[in-house]
Amino acid sequence: MVGLELLHDGARARGGRPLGLALEGAIHVVAQLVERGAGVGVERVVALELGVELSGQLSDSVGSHATQIPRHRPRVNAHVSVGYAPRDMHRLGWAALATWALWAAGCSTSGDDDAPPAADTRPGWETCESAACLAAARPLLDEQPADAARWLQRGCDTGDAESCYQLSLLYDAGRGVLRDWARSMSILRGACESGHAGACYNLGVGYQMGQGAERDYVASRQAFQRACDADYAAACNNLGTQYGAGDGVPVDHARAYSYFERSCTLGDATGCANQGTHLVAGQGVEPDRDRGVALLRGACTETETGGCRGLANLYWDGLAVEQDREEALRLYRRGCSAGAEQACNDVGEAIEAGVAGEPDHAESARLFRGACEFGVPRACHNFAEALWYGRGLPTDRAQAIQRYESSCDGGYLEACNDLGWCYANGESVDASPSRARALYDRACVGGVEVACRNLAALDAAAAE
């Protein structure tokens, strides 16, 4: 376990014309059942309710319990503010509430844009001003997201960046609409261009994760920079992470530290944790262990968990604090429960190491798999090892190869070495000395010593 590995917790959580009323109502029911049926066979419940067969895309929109690992990575630190309606308003029927909200905002309640206004319709019903449509959508976001999406689309079409931002969040999460990351990204581009800092942040996360668009570190960095310039703290942290890890740029620890410091000053706990980690390690700044540990402790409290993983790493390795792996495991668990996927991988590693007693390989494999599905390269390597050796789950070397590939592609170089060995020896793949050599070389250049030895052995065998 690497004691001073950077935190990447902050490294990420679109519409058309109104449909016919019957179909729109069906989609609304689907959205509501999906939201309320998570974990209880929602596809079957919705199919019985509507008498239809649902696509797999609907099940993807089901949320997950906050302490579990969701199946799809949310955009991290999106700071969503959806303006939910007060509880007493929820007691109204959804149609009454929607009609009231739209009437109060001066928006149309007709299902057909081209239909003439009724005699008693308020003047100006044909066009909905951006601020009025946003105001109409906010009370609907909690329990009627399908209706909210329709009015947010109207607001977005009139150029209101906040309406676009809120609409992108619905498409990103699949609330009230079918999840569509590509459409979410398309909307975010426009909102970011209009100067919405939160949209720029989520756009940067999408490009960094390759979610809804091809992975593009340059575009990601540009979006984060716009958000950071607008004092969006999490974006400054992510810029620091990119420069610290060399994601699309040369490694520059001094620049990374400056972004972490700015993020911390703006109030982001993960930025403070990364600043503290750099101070303890003396990366890009003069070392100051006491200040670094203090920053990490301050970012790991009852209300903040951004620094728990970094503090746990110190306890695990005994750096700047007395080594205490039980305390490290406790802190890793806190980070994992708060949604830090890398911390979930760390919990799995601690369980494998026997810190919690007899190793529970099935539990650690579950944690590795979950963190891998979130895109943590080290977790993908750990899950690949579990699959390869049948630790905690049945042996599946074909899937193990896929996970080694994911880990190596994500930059975890030990996985590149292991994958190189498979290609060099024809283990579960067709033998390919050239592929093996490329993988060994990549890992060797990155500092994996065993890969250098494997590369030398491969070249010597080829020369015979």
Q: Binning pLDDT at 50, 70 and 90, where does residue 356 land? A: confident
Residue, of 67 and 228, whose pLDDT is higher: 228
Look at 105-114, 235-244, 255-264, 362-371 and tell me which has the smallest mean pLDDT: 105-114
Using DSSP's 3-state secondary structure scheme, residue 200 falls into helix
Averaged pLDDT for residues 177-193: 97
CATH number of the 8-63+94-107+128-206 domain = 1.25.40
pLDDT of residue 306: 86
Banded model confidence at residue 163, pLDDT cuts 50, 70, 90: very high
Structure tokens that stand for 173 in this block: 């999460």
Per-position DSSP letters for 67-113, written without gaps between them:
TS--SSPPPTT------PPPHHHHTS-HHHHHHHHHHHHT----S-T
Single out the residue of 433, 430, 439 nearest to residue 458, CA to CA.
433
Highest averaged pLDDT of the listed ranges 1-15, 20-34, 120-134, 194-208: 194-208
If you compute the radius of gyration of the chain from its CA atoms, what whole number of angstroms results?
A: 25
Condensed to tens digits (0 to 9), the pLDDT of residues 409-427 reads 988 999 999 999 999 999 9
Residue 442 is predicted with a pLDDT of: 96
Nearest to 68 by CA among 36, 113, 38, 94: 38
Rounded to an integer, the average pLDDT of 246-252 is 92
Per-residue pLDDT at 25? 38
Q: At residue 31, what are phi and psi to the nearest 5 degrees? A: -60, -45
Question: CA 126, CA 44: separation in Å to the nearest integer?
Answer: 39
Distance CA 200, CA 191 (A): 8
Q: pTM above 0.85?
A: no
Mean pLDDT over 352-366 rounds to: 94
Q: What is the dihedral of CA 91, 95, 100, 103, to 10 degrees?
A: 170
> What tokens does 28 get?
């609304």
Q: What is the mean pLDDT of the chain?
A: 78
Q: Which residues contact 29 (CB under 8 A, 6 or more apart)?
A: 46, 49, 50
Other residues' Cβ atoms within 10 Å of the Cβ of residue 368: 32
d(CA 464, CA 462): 6
**Which two three-digit tokens encode residue 464?**
């015979």
Q: What percent of the chain is helix, strand and coil (3-state, nearest 5)?
A: 60, 0, 40
Which amino acid is located at 139 in the chain?
A: P
Per-domain residue ranges of the chain: 8-63+94-107+128-206
Whether residue 318 contacts residue 310, with contact meaning beta carbons closer than 8 Å, is answered with no
CA distance 440 to 446: 10
Q: Which residues contact 325 (CB under 8 A, 6 or more apart)?
A: 315, 316, 350, 353, 355
- Per-residue model confidence (pLDDT) at position 127: 59
pLDDT at res. 301: 87
Write phi, then psi, for 138 (nearest 5 degrees): -55, -45
pLDDT surpasses 60 at 22: no
